[in-house]
Amino acid sequence: MTESNHIQIKLMNQDFTVEQYRELLSIAKRSYQFISYDKISFEQRFILWRHDVDYSMNRSLRLAELEYEEGIRSTFFVNPHCEFYNLLEKGQNKILRRIIELGHSVGLHFDAEYYGVKSETELDSLIELESKYLQEWIGTQIKVFSFHNPTPFLLSCEKETYGGLINCYSNFFKSSISYCSDSNGYWRFRRIKDVLEAASDSFLQVLTHPGWWQEKPMTPRERIFRCVDSRASFVMRSYDDALMTHGRSNLGELTVEFSFLKQKIGKKADLIDYQWMRGEFIGVYIDIWRIFESQLVKSCRIWFRKILGSSLEEVNSIFQSSLLTLPMHRVFLTIYQSTWSYITKSSEEDFLTWQKLRDDLVHGLHYCPKEKLEEGIIYIVSVMRHLSEFIESSPTSLPRLQNNHEIGLTEIESGEHLFLKWLIDNSVEIGIDDEMLKEFLNNKSKVRLSN
Ligand SMILES: [Zn+2]
């Protein structure tokens, strides 16, 4: 892919946000009357606004609400054979009923491939059958259908109705009403915004697929991933919640320690859970270490800023210097004047052994059986929990890293080198290598500490 291609794709992705979608609606309103499929009249300029729901009922509701706010009604074509949602599922069915409540219509998105349709005569009975089902399931009348993944054969079926439903791909539509669509989540033909702004078509059918329209710009594949991933998380959560509601054990879930992690890191825990369930234990082990270390670094930074009174510039320079590797757990123990075994109820030697395993795994040097990794994961999460309890009970603690003004630090003079002085005074206790410290001090101008 060339650089200019890449930029073009990025720009195109920015078109597919709900904010842009709202803009499309307001541009369309300026030049067109929004009408429904059963009330077509060529006396005035009109637009038929249609959604083929291929990927997401949840995104459909988002767009349905937006349209409602803009005073617009459209038609949502749903597919009973869709792999991405199930119309009979309680939550999804409720969404569709909510869309109807908002004043929108529902059409059938007919998947002919499901039946292996070979001739036009089969269409009538199958479409009639499906529209009956759909009406039963959602309690509203179905008047119109569109083909899902239309093949050349289906596009040659051009009668105005099949099975009593209006055919969106009939000869009538093709010859009298212009058409544009968001096709594959990028502009294959005309860009909808350009078509609406030009308003040169008097009668227009616009097709969108709700899954393509997201809160933030994403590539088409990211947008579909988001639809699938949200559904998968929802289904997994339903399983966990049901066991909890009925007081059953959830065998195979990441231990008691893990529920602490879930509370602490929120949605990131889903990713760890996912890796765990896929058997990617090395990934889980390394990720949890990373979270643990950022917890350590944050609590130390807070101490240097709030208690020692070091300037933000100095703290950043020292923490980010490539010349000095601070053994963070030693720094932590020194500032809080405590011991590892007191805080974590385990020995510092154990800690160093598990840390060494982490380093080996990061560098791809170590094979480790699942059982041992499990033990290590439980160990490090329990360390995190103890550390958290210790920090929270410490009178000098802050719950999280905050901005300077929030903790009253705007007045601190820079250049006092309080942190640096502290480092020199405590280097033996922390266990910083003398040579390393000297090298760091010799180069301190490079780390913006000269004065
Ligand atoms: Zn489709």
CA of residue 82 to ligand 1 center, whole Å: 9
> Does pLDDT of 372 surpass 90?
yes
Is 176's pLDDT higher than 60?
yes
Distance from residue 78's CA to the centre of ligand 1 (Å): 9
Q: What is the pLDDT of residues 5-43, one digit of tens each?
A: 777 778 888 999 999 999 999 999 999 999 999 999 999
Distance 88 CA to ligand 1 centre (A): 19
Question: Of residues 2 and 135, which shows the higher confidence score?
Answer: 135
Distance between CA atoms of residues 222 and 20, nearest Å? 18
310 CA distance to ligand 1 centroid (A)? 60
pLDDT of residue 446: 53
Question: Ligand 1 centre from 205 Cα, in Å?
Answer: 16
- How far does the centroid of ligand 1 lie from the alpha carbon of residue 305, in Å? 57
Distance 111 CA to ligand 1 centre (A): 8
CA distance linking residue 192 with residue 77, whole number of Å: 19
- Examine the pLDDT at 366 and tell me if it is beyond 90: no
Query: pTM of this prediction?
Result: 0.79
**23 backbone dihedrals φ, ψ, rounded to 5°:** -65, -40
Mean pLDDT in residue range 40-53: 96
Ligand 1 center–CA 54 separation, angstroms = 5
Q: Ligand 1 center to residue 80 CA distance, Å?
A: 11
Please give the pLDDT value at position 6. 78
Average pLDDT over residues 157-176: 96
CA distance 264 to 385: 9
What confidence score (pLDDT) does residue 401 get? 38
User: Tokens for 183?
Assistant: 């096709």
Lowest mean pLDDT among 182-186, 361-365, 396-400: 396-400
Nearest CA to 231 out of 66, 92, 78 is that of 92
Distance between CA atoms of residues 65 and 101, nearest Å: 10
Q: How many residues does the chain have?
A: 451
CB burial readout 199-218, b (16+ within 10 A) else e: eebebbbbbbbbbbbbeebb
DSSP string, 4-33: HHHHHHHHHHTTSBHHHHHHHHHHHHHH-E
Let me know: does 209 contact 50? Beta carbons within 8 Å: no
Given a cut of 80, whether residue 117 has pLDDT beyond it is: yes
Spatial distance between the Cα atoms of 86 and 79, rounded to a whole number of angstroms: 9
Q: What are phi and psi of 109, to 5 degrees?
A: -100, 100
Range in 64-78, 100-114, 144-158, 356-370 the model is least confident about: 356-370
Cα-flanking dihedrals φ and ψ of residue 429, to 5°? -65, -40
Beta bridge partners of 203: 46
Distance (Å) from CA 151 to ligand 1 centroid: 11
**Could you state, in order of their start, the residue ranges of all structural domains in the chain?**
3-212, 252-447
Q: State in Å: Cα 403 to ligand 1 middle.
A: 49
How many other C-beta atoms can be found within 10 angstroms of the C-beta atom of residue 253?
Answer: 15
Determine the average pLDDT of the residues in 173-189: 90
CB 98 within 8 A of CB 61: yes
Give the pLDDT confidence score for residue 337 in this predicted structure: 87
Q: Give 404's pLDDT tier (boundaries 50, 70, 90).
A: very low
pLDDT tens per residue across span 183-212: 888 888 889 999 999 999 999 999 999 999
Pairing of strands 75-78, 144-147: unpaired
Residues facing 145 on adjacent strands: 108, 167
Q: What is the pLDDT of residue 353?
A: 95
Q: Using one digit for the tens of pLDDT, what is the confidence trace for 278-297?
A: 888 999 999 999 999 998 99
Reported as a single tens digit per residue, the pLDDT across 85-108 is 999 999 999 999 999 999 999 999
DSSP string covering 262-323: HHHHTTHHHHHHHHHHTT-HHHHHHHHHHHHHHHHHHHHHHIIIIIS---HHHHHHHHH-TT
CA angle 143, 25, 19 (to 5 degrees): 120
State the maximum Cα–Cα separation within the chain, in Å, rounded to a whole number: 90
Closest by Cα among 288, 320, 315 to 302: 315
- Class at the top of the CATH hierarchy for domain 3-212: alpha beta
Query: 233: left (phi > 0), else alpha (psi -120 to 50), else beta?
Result: alpha
- CA–centroid distance, 107 to ligand 1, in Å, is 12
- Per the model's pLDDT, the better-predicted residue between 6 and 126 turns out to be 126
Distance (Å, whole) CA 224 – CA 203: 31
Q: Are 59 and 98 in contact (CB under 8 A)?
A: no
Q: How confident is the model at residue 410 (pLDDT cuts 50, 70, 90)?
A: very low
- The whole-number average pLDDT for the span 263-285 is 85
Number of H helices, E strands in the chain: 20, 9
pLDDT of residue 405: 45
Write the pLDDT tens digit of every residue in 322-355.
777 888 999 999 988 889 999 999 999 999 999 9
Whether residue 411 is predicted with pLDDT greater than 70 in this model: the reply is: no
What distance in angstroms lies between residue 58's CA and the mean position of ligand 1's atoms?
16
* pLDDT at 414 > cutoff 90: no
CA of 52 to the centre of ligand 1 (A): 6
What's the pLDDT score for residue 47?
Answer: 97
**How far is ligand 1, taken at its centre, from the CA of residue 77, in Å?**
9
The amino acid at residue 287 is D
CA distance 340 to 329: 8
Phi, psi of 314 (to 5 degrees): -70, -45
Neighbours of ion ligand 1 (CB under 5 A): 52, 54, 148
Q: Which amino acid is at 242?
A: A
The rounded Å distance from CA 235 to ligand 1 centre is 24
Helix segments in 116-251, DSSP class H: 120-138, 152-155, 171-176, 192-198, 220-245
